[in-house]
Chains A and B, each alone.
Chain A
Amino acid sequence: MDRIAVIDGIRTPFVKAWTLFEDIPAQILGTISVRELLEITHLKSNLVDEVIFGAVAQPVEASNVARVISLYAGIPKEKRAYSLSRNCASGFESVTSGFEKITCGLDEIVIAGGAESMSNIPLVFGKDITKILMRLNKSKTLMRKLKLLSGIRPSHFKPVAGLVLGLTDPVCGLNMGQTAEVLAKEFGITRKEQDEFSLTSHKRAAANRMKLREEIAPVIVPPDYDIVVMDDNGPRENQTMEALGSLSPYFDKYTGTVTVGNSCQVTDGACALLVMKEEKARQMGYEPLGYIRAYAYNGLAPNKMGLGPAYSIPTVLKRAGLKLKDMDLVEINEAFAVQVLACIKALASKKFAEENFSYPEPIGQIDMDRLNVNGGAIALGHPVGTSGSRLILTLAKEMKRRNAKFGLASLCVGGGQGGAIILER
Chain B
Amino acid sequence: MDALNLKIENDIAILEFDTPDSRVNVLNRQTMQELDSIVDQLAARAGSEIKGLIVSSKKEGIFIAGADIKEIEKISSAKEAVEKAQIGKYILNKLGRLNLITVAAINGACLGGGLELALHCKYRTASFSEAVRIGLPEVKLGLIPGFGGTQKLPKIVGLLRATNMILSGEMVSGPDALRYGLVDRLFPPMRLVEDSRDFIRELLNGRVAVKRRKKQGLRNSFLENTPLGRAVFFDQAGKNVIKKTKGFYPAPLKAIEVIKRTYGQSAERGSLLESEAFSKLAVTEISKNLIKVFYLNEEFKNFPWVDAAIKPARVDKCGIVGAGVMGGGIAQLLGFYDIPSRLKDINYEALKTALKTAKGLFDYAAKKRILRRHQVDYKLGLISPTVTYKGFENTDLVIEAVVEDLNIKQKVFKELGEITTCAAVLASNTSSLPITKIAEAANSPDRVVGLHFFNPVHRMPLVEVIRSSRTSDQALATTIRFARRIGKVVIVVKDVPGFLINRILLSYLNEAGFLFEEGMKMDDIDRIARDFGMPMGPIELIDEIGVDVGYKVAKILEGAYGERMRAAPILEKVRDKMFPGKKTKSCFYIRAKNKKMPNPDIYKIAGISRADSAISDEVALKRMLYVMINEAARCLEEGVADRPQTVDIGMIMGTGFPPFRAGLLRYADSLGTDNIVRTLYDFEKAKKAERFRPCNYLISMAQTKRGFYGTI
Contact = CB atoms under 8 A, between A and B. Distances in A.
A228 B348 contact: yes
Nearest to A228: B348
Contacts of A402: none
Given A74-B340, A222-B359, A39 B381 contact: no
B348 A220 contact: yes
Interface in B551-592: none
A35 B381 contact: yes
Contact of A39 (B355, B356, B391): B391
What DSSP secondary structure best describes chain B's contact surface?
A: mixed
Interface in A27-59: 28, 31-32, 35-36, 38-40, 42-46
Interface in B388-428: 390-394
A220 B352 contact: yes
Contact of B356 (A32, A35, A225): A225
B612 interface: no
A36 B316 CA distance: 16
Given A44-B394, A226-B352, A72 B378 contact: yes
A43 B394 CA distance: 7
Given A72-B378, A224-B356, A225-B359, A39 B386 contact: yes
A95 to B, nearest CB: 23
B192 interface: no
A42 B391 contact: yes
Contacts of B359: 222-223, 225
Contact of A220 (B378, B382, B385): B385
A19 to B, nearest CB: 18
Given A74-B340, A224-B356, A225-B359, A39 B348 contact: no
B54 interface: no
B286 interface: no
Given A224-B356, A225-B352, A226-B352, A35 B384 contact: yes
A35 B377 CA distance: 14
Interface residues of B, number: 24
Contacts of B382: 74
Nearest to A224: B356
A68 B638 CA distance: 54
Nearest to A217: B386
Given A39-B386, A44-B316, A28 B351 contact: no
A218 interface: yes
B384 to A, nearest CB: 5
Given A74-B340, A220-B352, A39 B380 contact: no
Interface in A226-260: 226, 228
A146 B382 CA distance: 50
B247 to A, nearest CB: 40
Interface in A195-222: 218, 220, 222
A45 B385 CA distance: 17
A74 B342 CA distance: 12
Nearest to B386: A39
A214 B390 CA distance: 13
Given A39-B391, A40-B390, A42-B390, A220 B384 contact: no
Contacts of A223: 359
B348 A218 contact: yes
B393 A42 contact: yes
A52 to B, nearest CB: 20
Nearest to A227: B352
Contacts of A220: 348, 351-352, 355, 385
Nearest to B392: A42
Interface string A4-46: 0000000000000000000000001001100110111011111
A13 to B, nearest CB: 14
**Chain B CB within 10 Å — which of A38, A45, A74 has the most?**
A74
A63 to B, nearest CB: 14
A76 to B, nearest CB: 9
Given A31-B381, A39-B342, A225 B355 contact: yes
B145 to A, nearest CB: 41
B12 to A, nearest CB: 40
Given A39-B386, A42-B391, A74-B382, A28 B316 contact: no
Interface in B365-384: 377-378, 380-382, 384
Contacts of A32: 381
Given A39-B391, A44-B394, A28 B352 contact: no
Contacts of A44: 316, 394
Given A220-B351, A225-B359, A36 B393 contact: no
Nearest to B341: A74
B334 to A, nearest CB: 11
A230 B352 CA distance: 14
Contacts of A46: 316
Interface in B305-354: 316-317, 340, 342, 348, 351-353
A220 B355 CA distance: 9
Contacts of B377: 28, 72
Contacts of A228: 348, 352
Contacts of A35: 340, 381, 384
Contacts of A40: 390-391
B617 to A, nearest CB: 47
A223 B376 CA distance: 11
A226 B377 CA distance: 17
A40 B316 CA distance: 17
A220 B382 CA distance: 14
Contacts of A74: 317, 340, 382
B378 A36 contact: no
Contacts of B385: 220
Interface in A66-107: 71-74
Contacts of A72: 377-378, 381
Contact of A36 (B340, B384, B394): B384
Given A28-B377, A220-B385, A223-B359, A39 B390 contact: yes
Interface in A399-425: none
Of A28, A71, A220, A225, most buried by chain B (CB within 10 Å of CB) is A225
B178 to A, nearest CB: 26
A379 B115 CA distance: 67
A236 B391 CA distance: 33
Contacts of B393: 42
Contacts of B391: 38-40, 42
A36 B387 CA distance: 12
Contacts of B356: 224-226
Nearest to B354: A225
Contacts of B353: 225
Contacts of B342: 39
A143 to B, nearest CB: 28
A380 to B, nearest CB: 23
A285 B135 CA distance: 55
Interface of B: 316-317, 340, 342, 348, 351-353, 355-356, 359, 377-378, 380-382, 384-386, 390-394
19 contacts: A32-B381, A35-B384, A38-B391, A39-B342, A39-B386, A42-B392, A42-B393, A44-B394, A46-B316, A71-B378, A72-B378, A220-B348, A220-B352, A222-B359, A223-B359, A224-B356, A225-B352, A226-B352, A226-B356
Given A42-B394, A220-B348, A222-B359, 14 more contacts: A28-B377, A32-B381, A35-B381, A36-B384, A39-B342, A39-B384, A42-B390, A43-B394, A218-B348, A220-B351, A220-B352, A220-B385, A224-B356, A225-B359
10 A-B pairs with the lowest CB-CB distances in the bound complex, closest first: A39-B391, A42-B393, A225-B355, A74-B340, A225-B356, A42-B394, A228-B348, A225-B352, A72-B381, A40-B390
